[in-house]
Structure 1
Amino acid sequence: MTPVELSRTVLRAVRRAVDDGELKVTVPERVVVSEPGPGGCGDFATTIALQLARPAGQPARRVAEIVRARLADAHGIRDVVVTGPGFLNISLDAQVDPVVGLVREIRRKGARYGHGDALAGQVVALRVPYEVRAEVVADAVVRLVATQGGRATVEHGEPVNLRPVPAPEDPAPLGPDAARWALLRPAAHDRPRITADHLVQREGNPLFRVRYAHARVRALGRNAARLGFDAEPGPVDDARALLTPLADHPRILSAAATHRAPDRLARHLVTVADAVLPLLPCVLPVGEEKPSAAHRARLALAEAAGTVLAGGLSLLGIDAPEHL
């Protein structure tokens, strides 16, 4: 069971509780699951009970128990424990590996991983001023809205409904990719920095880290082919740091599209890059070591991250280089 599938399972449990009359709330569109926090247990945890407590008019622990009862017998779930004020801690069946399921899903969907229907059938009309940052943000929003089944149009003139803080100077000297990053990564209410820092090829440059991580993943795939082995999804030790942001990608895309906020996607790509980079040195065999199932599984996980990075950069209108 992948984190995305687990999220849907929790959502179904909430819907069943509403249908049974035990919870009187509006069923949310999605449920976020993540690694358990301090004092938690199991494979994943969710705060859905705390989110529903106030609208349900019940204590969070009571809401958690209601949801827990409907999760306990769900396929792929071994145990559910309520901790703290109402956290649901979920343990998966031993034979259900979340890394395998998630990697397979990303490999199957490719660049469309994370696309959904949150805006299906909707037309989002964007009215922007004649200003370079507004134009670039609107272009990214058009792409993001399309990932959620909607369509966005862009017009100029009043009344403006998309007006990010303008760039303090012309970003064109940075080149197309760094200029777009400089304009898109800050939140709309923040003034972008138009400096040469965006061009520096060092770890301190977030754009460099994202593009470098993608290029490294692609290089590992080429080197693995030369060594005679391919990626194959499988269990990976210490994968949780990368598993969480990869599983969160569909939620990030939906939020970025719904709130017209490409900065959310840009920052998420930095999180994915920072999580995959520590994995890369152990993907290929070292010295006389022979390729093993562990190497194939690590390569598959790294390539899944590369798919997310490439897809995200493309939505921002930024090139994802194969070599860097």
Structure 2
Amino acid sequence: MTPEQLSATIVDALTTLSDEGAISLPDGVPATVTVERPRQKGHGDYATNVALQLAKKAGMPPRDFATIVHDRLVQTDGIDGVEIAGPGFLNISVSAGSQGRVAAEVAAAGATYGSSGVFAGEKINLEFVSANPTGPLHLGGTRWAAVGDALGRIFEFTGADVTREYYFNDHGAQIDRFSRSLLASARGEGVPEDGYGGDYIHEIAKAVVDQRPDAVDLPDEEANEVFRQVGVTMMFAEIKQDLHDFGVDFDVYFHEDDLHRSGAVDKAIQRLTELGNTYEQDGALWLVTEKYGDDKDRVIVRSNGQPAYLSGDLAYYLDKRERGFERCFIMLGADHHGYVGRMNAMCAAFGDEPGRNLEILIGQMVNLLKDGQPMRMSKRAGTVISMNDLVDAIGKDASRYVLARYTSDTNIDIDLDLWAKASNDNPVYYVQYAHARVSSILRNAADLGLAPAHGDDFDPGLLAHEKEGDLLRALAEFPRVVASAAELREPHRVARYLEDTAGIYHRFYDNCRVLPMGDEEPSDLHRARLLLIEATRTVLANGLGLLGVSAPERM
């Protein structure tokens, strides 16, 4: 019995009690009730606070309400016992047969187990990474690549229609600095003031010259334009390839420059003006963001007639909404934290709802440790550590896993020595090894001509061992974990769940023999446990897949 099934059972009991007049709920019986795994062993398989939630509405003390529900639930098939605890909590024990059916449900659902309709009908635009094409992808962008792609997978698994989008910053001063740095390198000059350094600048400058040998001798303005166009294209192609190799691909690459060339900026400003949310002062055009919660109003067109940086954001947001995206997510680095207020105010100025139509997620810093000391520089990238530095050190799977394993609003210190280890101290190895171990057992069973029990051949009541119950309850939690990860925008919940479940599986395996020994005849218990093993493999594979991490069958 899964938590969702038990919740439905309790709702059915409440409905019957209400129909019989045993309880009276003016607002009616809720569609669902909270069911959780108790923190302490001995407190049943599941617990619910339904009596505490509904007793006041029913006009009775919580323990009296709990007693009425208790008396109904103990008569229900699949429930072995119900205990009233504290002020009115109900601790519920389910029968082995009822619990054991989870294994069959997981195995039957296969790759879809854990999916739901939590975000069904939602059309989501998920913008992440969006690093300037002025250098290799750094660790902050790499974190968003891992977290953003995992969140996209989780949204899709919970029913959403997701478009992954990369905002290609090909407009503005940083691109000018990049092109000047390339030209200086090609001419054998030093790095310009505020320019970019690193071996990659020399590599791209040489590639531009190979393609356009005449560019170095052009007048500065023309030469800069050649190095801008060709160099940016090359740098962005490299970024896209690195992301693809990391397992991250985008549906849309949106060019910032297009907003300014197409008239989209003027259109957005006109829309806001029509809504009465702009005004002129000191020769500039202002957006009334303070009215919508920002700390001050913002200039959107400067006194010289040039659009301010925020004007591009206005146009881009409006473009997304006009493309039909009801929900727009933007993932930004910690250095953009102060930008959140003005973006939310911009959303409200368009008549939309911040937190609903626009949601901004902030990611904190990532640091690498080697031999206990921080790594501070990449030779190729210059002053920053790049995605490829991390992947080269610990591999793609470990990189994606560690970056998605922590809540995004905390700094991460990645110990490269730990995450490169092939040992159970390494969390991703620990989870992958559990998957490889269950795969090995299923292969060995097949060699013996032994298959998991299915259909009428499966007796769920055979899975009555304490460790079997622990594993079954863990597997039953997976859909809820995925739904929570989607609702809270926290992929790390999936990673931590996988580690806990891998540990529960290993303890089960140490206590419950799955395959027959020697000349022992295969029994229904062996087949039932093989089904549990198959269900465990399904959950581990599905969870790793949501994080974009492989589920190896051999290690």
Please confirm whether the aligned pair reaches a TM-score higher than 0.5, indicating the same fold: yes
The one of 157, 162, 177 equivalent to 2:397 is 177
Q: 2:444 aligns to what? A: 223
Contact 2:405–2:491 at 8 Å: present in 1 too?
yes
The one of 491, 494, 502 equivalent to 1:262 is 491
Contact 1:127–1:162 at 8 Å: present in 2 too?
no
The one of 9, 30, 34 equivalent to 1:31 is 34
Q: How does 1:185-204 map to 2 (within 5 A)?
A: 185-194=405-414, 195-204=416-425
Amino acid at match of 1:290: E
Cα deviation, 1:100-123, whole Å, max 9, x if unaligned, reads 310110011011112111111123
Contact 2:475–2:501 at 8 Å: present in 1 too?
yes
Residue 298 of structure 2 corresponds to residue 298 of structure 1: no
SS in 1 for 2:362: coil
Contact 1:134–1:166 at 8 Å: present in 2 too?
no
Residue 482 of structure 2 corresponds to residue 253 of structure 1: yes
Cα deviation, 1:226-263, whole Å, max 9, x if unaligned, reads 11211124422121221221111111010001111100
Instruction: Please report how far the alpha carbon of residue 29 of structure 1 lies from its aligned counterpart in structure 2 after TM superposition.
Output: 4.8
**Following the alignment from structure 2 to structure 1, what is the Cα–Cα distance between the partners of residues 55 and 127?**
38
Instruction: Please report how far the alpha carbon of residue 126 of structure 1 lies from its aligned counterpart in structure 2 after TM superposition.
Output: 3.2
Q: How does 1:126-137 map to 2 (within 5 A)?
A: 126-128=126-128, 130=131, 131-137=141-147
**Following the alignment from structure 1 to structure 2, what is the Cα–Cα distance between the partners of residues 140 and 27?**
32
Q: How does 1:1-324 map to 2 (within 5 A)?
A: 1-14=1-14, 21-22=24-25, 24=27, 27=30, 29=32, 31-34=34-37, 37=40, 40=43, 43-50=45-52, 59-68=61-70, 71-77=73-79, 79-92=81-94, 97-128=97-128, 130=131, 131-155=141-165, 159=343, 161-168=360-367, 169-170=385-386, 171-173=390-392, 174-194=394-414, 195-232=416-453, 233=458, 234=460, 235-236=462-463, 237-238=465-466, 239-281=468-510, 282-324=513-555
Gaps of 5+ in 2: 132-140, 168-312, 314-342, 344-358, 368-384
Instruction: Please report how far the alpha carbon of residue 184 of structure 1 lies from its aligned counterpart in structure 2 after TM superposition.
Output: 0.2
Structure whose CA Rg is larger: 2
Aligned length: 321
Amino acid at match of 1:178: A
Gaps of 5+ in 1: none
Change (3 A) 1:123 1:289: same
Change (3 A) 1:66 1:99: closer
**Following the alignment from structure 1 to structure 2, what is the Cα–Cα distance between the partners of residues 17 and 128?**
50
Instruction: Answer with 179-188 or 285-294: which moved more.
Output: 285-294
Instruction: Please report how far the alpha carbon of residue 205 of structure 1 lies from its aligned counterpart in structure 2 after TM superposition.
Output: 1.4
Contact 2:8–2:32 at 8 Å: present in 1 too?
no
SS in 2 for 1:162: strand
**Following the alignment from structure 2 to structure 1, what is the Cα–Cα distance between the partners of residues 46 and 26?**
23
Change (3 A) 1:186 1:56: farther
**Following the alignment from structure 1 to structure 2, what is the Cα–Cα distance between the partners of residues 222 and 278?**
21
**Following the alignment from structure 1 to structure 2, what is the Cα–Cα distance between the partners of residues 257 and 70?**
34
**Following the alignment from structure 2 to structure 1, what is the Cα–Cα distance between the partners of residues 90 and 146?**
41
Change (3 A) 1:75 1:213: same
SS in 1 for 2:435: helix
Change (3 A) 1:280 1:16: same
What fraction of aligned residue pairs are identical, expressed as a percent? Answer: 37
Instruction: Please report how far the alpha carbon of residue 16 of structure 1 lies from its aligned counterpart in structure 2 after TM superposition.
Output: 6.3
Change (3 A) 1:146 1:205: same
Change (3 A) 1:54 1:179: farther
SS in 2 for 1:161: strand
Instruction: Please report how far the alpha carbon of residue 89 of structure 1 lies from its aligned counterpart in structure 2 after TM superposition.
Output: 2.8
**Following the alignment from structure 2 to structure 1, what is the Cα–Cα distance between the partners of residues 399 and 451?**
36
Superposed CA RMSD in Å reads 2.9
**Following the alignment from structure 2 to structure 1, what is the Cα–Cα distance between the partners of residues 542 and 17?**
37
Change (3 A) 1:156 1:102: same
**Following the alignment from structure 2 to structure 1, what is the Cα–Cα distance between the partners of residues 419 and 110?**
28
Instruction: Please report how far the alpha carbon of residue 302 of structure 1 lies from its aligned counterpart in structure 2 after TM superposition.
Output: 1.7
**Following the alignment from structure 2 to structure 1, what is the Cα–Cα distance between the partners of residues 446 and 42?**
43
Amino acid at match of 1:270: E
Cα deviation, 1:95-150, whole Å, max 9, x if unaligned, reads x6134310110011011112111111123343445322112211111110111111
Instruction: Please report how far the alpha carbon of residue 71 of structure 1 lies from its aligned counterpart in structure 2 after TM superposition.
Output: 3.4
Instruction: Answer with 105-114 or 147-156: which moved more.
Output: 147-156
Cα deviation, 1:46-97, whole Å, max 9, x if unaligned, reads 23334556888865424433543553554434553322221213344x6x61
Q: 2:180 aligns to what? A: none
SS in 2 for 1:309: helix
**Following the alignment from structure 1 to structure 2, what is the Cα–Cα distance between the partners of residues 76 and 86?**
22
Instruction: Please report how far the alpha carbon of residue 269 of structure 1 lies from its aligned counterpart in structure 2 after TM superposition.
Output: 0.5
